[in-house]
Structure 1
Amino acid sequence: MHELRQHHYGFAHGILPQMATTMGPRLLDEPPPRGYDAALAAIWDGYGESLPEEARLDRPGLAGQLMERDGHRMLVVTLPPPTAPAEAYFAAVVRAPGAAACRYFTLEHTVSPIDGAEGTVLGGWADGSHLNYGSSGPATVENFVAAIVLQSGQG
């Protein structure tokens, strides 16, 4: 099993949720002039500069896309592939229908401590706390978006 990588974990569990809280609706309503991919790359690299050189990572696959599903407007971020439990495959800044504020979700890599089976879990943030919404399906954008819509409908 691999060790948690500070750059990957800190970006998905620190930088992006903070942006969702402080800039949420603007992230969804005012796309960056050079696009989400370029903006995310700059943020990833900028965060990496605050880390020791040996903790910095490349950003293969890092991308962002604006989506709408069942009235939910969201910025879905594809992260570099996770290699350790709690690292995320995807993250999303989400505004549910009629909501003024945004919520933040992740689809995280898991490994069972019992049998070593790999899986995913839907995570989220509320009032500064990291929440676990339970096991999720395959690590695909479609599954992630469906899980977010389902969870958002539950509160």
Structure 2
Amino acid sequence: MSTRQHHYQFAHVVFRSIALRNAAGMLAAPLDEFTARTTNLWIGVGNRLPEEQRLSAEGLAMNHVPLGAGSGLLVRLPPALFPPEAHFALVVGPDVVGEPRYFVLEESLDVMTRQRTTVLGAWDEGTHLNLGPGPAADPDAFVSAVAARLA
């Protein structure tokens, strides 16, 4: 099986684009309201795809996390199964690094061992950046990896 378009389009295209244009607004929005809007966005992305490619929003959640002098918005995505689907995304606002940043922890396969692994990725104005091996698919480990990268 291959990457599911619903998962990929949401995390790597639609949500990423919104995050890089409006990170400060995302971080300032009331979390329950923003969670509901994000769930509707997930459903909307799916509605653009054939019905058999649509995925449930189950598992989609978000919370604010401390990050440097500010905070980030951690997005837990529905379970990632295939490379390069994202386990998590982290929206970093301009209060932390001067400009919005968008990081993802992607499902991957080690090319040598064919074992499942993760890759830390980021997006910069439409360019995907592979930042190397990622931590376990754990939200705290992901946030720590991004914080270390930003330090």
**TM-score of the two chains, using structure 2 as the length reference:** 0.92
Secondary structure of the 2:7 match is helix
Output one character per residue of 1:85-104: Cα deviation in whole Å (capped at 9) or x when no partner.
Answer: 10010001112645442100
Output one character per residue of 1:43-81: Cα deviation in whole Å (capped at 9) or x when no partner.
Answer: 100111111111111122100111113324111000011
| Code of the aligned partner of 1:28 | L
Corresponding residue for 1:18?
Answer: 17
* Paired residues for 1:75-94 under 5 Å: 75-94=73-92
Identity of aligned residues (%): 36
Corresponding residue for 2:45?
Answer: 47
| Code of the aligned partner of 2:77 | L
Q: CA deviation at 1:36?
A: 3.2
Gaps of 5+ in 2: none
Normalized per residue, the structure richer in helix is 2
Secondary structure of the 2:122 match is strand
Aligned length: 151
Distance 1:98 1:12, change over 3 A: closer
Corresponding residue for 1:151?
Answer: 149
Q: Distance in 2 between matches of 1:12 and 1:22?
A: 15
CA RMSD of aligned residues (A): 1.6
> Which range is displaced more, 89-98 or 36-45?
89-98
Gaps of 5+ in 1: none
Q: Distance in 1 between matches of 2:112 and 2:37?
A: 40
Corresponding residue for 1:29?
Answer: 28
Secondary structure of the 2:131 match is strand
**TM-score of the two chains, using structure 1 as the length reference:** 0.90
